[in-house]
């Protein structure tokens, strides 16, 4: 009987640990790839993500503003996990601005919660 009780306890512990991990939040990220008009990746491009609501709202969206430079692969990833709250419906639509020397580009990215969202911005001298 003690062996059966021990096995039951171990099984319950394993199941309890497994059920707790089912509710773990996944990261909410935005990955931007910057390319030139020929499709080549642009390393070292300055990228800024920011909220630009068309209707003035009382909420302060500046906390969503993030910026940085692309790596050698032309990509930069911003982590928005700290801003997402479980049960929240939708997250954000952000404007993208990319600059490298005289090249500029713009875009928009819709950030879905608990996903890695990706967008490509083309920079050119004609913008």
Domain ranges across the chain: 26-123
CA 21, CA 28: separation in Å to the nearest integer?
17
Residues in Cβ contact with 21 at an 8 Å cutoff, skipping those fewer than 6 apart: none
Does residue 111 contact residue 27 with C-beta atoms inside 8 Å? no
pLDDT (0 to 100) of residue 37 = 95
Token pair 């021990």 in the structure block, residue: 6
Which residues sit opposite 77 in a β-bridge? 31
Which parts of the chain fold into alpha helices (H)?
2-21
Q: What is the pLDDT of residue 110?
A: 92
pLDDT digit string (tens) for the chain, length 127 residues = 566 665 566 556 676 555 555 556 788 999 999 999 999 999 999 999 998 776 655 566 778 899 999 999 999 999 988 876 665 556 789 999 999 999 999 999 998 888 899 999 999 997 5
- For 26-123, the fitting CATH number among 3.40.50.2000, 2.60.40.1120, 3.20.20.70, 3.30.360.10 is 2.60.40.1120
The structure's pTM equals: 0.74
Write down the pLDDT at residue 7: 58
């Amino acid at each position: 009987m003690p062996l059966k009780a021990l096995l039951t306890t171990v099984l319950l512990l394993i199941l309890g640990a497994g059920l707790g991990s089912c509710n773990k939040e996944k990261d909410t990220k935005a990955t931007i790839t910057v390319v030139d008009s020929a499709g080549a990746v642009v390393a070292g491009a300055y990228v800024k993500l920011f909220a630009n609501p068309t209707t003035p709202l009382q909420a302060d969206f500046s906390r969503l503003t993030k910026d940085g430079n692309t790596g050698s692969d032309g990509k930069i990833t911003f982590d928005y996990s700290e801003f997402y709250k479980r049960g929240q419906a939708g997250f954000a639509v952000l404007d993208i601005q990319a600059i490298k020397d005289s090249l500029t580009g713009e875009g928009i990215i819709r950030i879905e919660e608990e996903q890695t969202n990706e967008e490509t911005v083309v920079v050119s001298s004609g913008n």
